[in-house]
Amino acid sequence: MSHLSSFPRPLGTDVPGTCEVPHFGPVRVRGGRYRPRRLVRHRRRAVAAGLAVTAAALVAAGPRGAGARDTGPPRDRPSAGPAPEGRPVGRVTAPVRIADGATVRLLRPGDRVDVIAARQSATGPGDARVVAAGARVTKVPEAPDSVSEGGALLVLSVSRRTATRLAGAGATSRLAVTLWHP
């Protein structure tokens, strides 16, 4: 054994010689050229199945029985359901905070009231104006035994426009009611 064989070889001398890589034809997966068409076909099936499930759910959630179908003339209002009993079409219920809680306790559902907005002025009494005339009381919520300084709540049936005026007046003025007699 020679003394030189015990030493490692210099770097780069242990690499094999180069050779040429043979030419290969392209590798093709079976059915690969039809893949985009297959994806479109499966999407169409998925959409069709989704539509069928949605239609079945809508039929199941629809009105029940023959009496539930509306065969009468079309309604002149946008809501789909009938108007609640005792409230004319085009009316809304508006909660209003009245400054004098004792006055509210005198009212009963069905009473008609005028709502008056009184603006407080720093220099003295302000202007008063009627915000809602002939509004029907629909509910007088139960108040605790002690009337708070914030007044009392009253629920009125009024038109949408009047409800908007009531909300605006309630934010800027003190509201009072007077019993309405036709």
In a domain, 18, yes or no: no
Residue 105 has pLDDT above 80, yes or no: yes
In a domain, 170, yes or no: yes
Residue 114's Cβ-count burial label (10 Å; 0-12, 13-18, 19+) is middle
Residue 16 has pLDDT above 90, yes or no: no
In a domain, 138, yes or no: yes
pLDDT score, position 142: 80
Average pLDDT over residues 5-27: 74
Which pLDDT band, with edges at 50, 70 and 90, does 138 fall under? Answer: very high
Which pLDDT band, with edges at 50, 70 and 90, does 5 fall under? Answer: low
**pTM of the entire structure?**
0.48
In a domain, 62, yes or no: no
pLDDT score, position 172: 86
Average pLDDT over residues 90-108: 89
**What's the CA gap between 109 and 49, in Å, rounded?**
53
In a domain, 157, yes or no: yes
SS (H, E, C) the chain: CCCHHHCCCCCCCCCCCCCCCCCCCCCCCCCHHHHHHHHHHHHHHHHHHHHHHHHHHHHHHCCCCHHHCCCCCCCCCCCCCCCCCCCCCCEEEEEEEECCHHHHHCCCCCCEEEEEEECCECCECCCEEEEEEEEEEEECCCCCCCCCCCCEEEEEEEEHHHHHHHHHHHHHCEEEEEECCC
In a domain, 67, yes or no: no
Residue 78 has pLDDT above 50, yes or no: no
Average pLDDT over residues 167-172: 86
Q: Total structural domains in the chain?
A: 1
18 against 35, higher pLDDT:
18
pLDDT score, position 145: 56
In a domain, 69, yes or no: no
Range of the domain at 124: 91-179
Count, residues in the chain? 182
Residue 115 has pLDDT above 90, yes or no: yes
Highest mean pLDDT out of 5-9, 46-50, 53-57, 150-154: 150-154
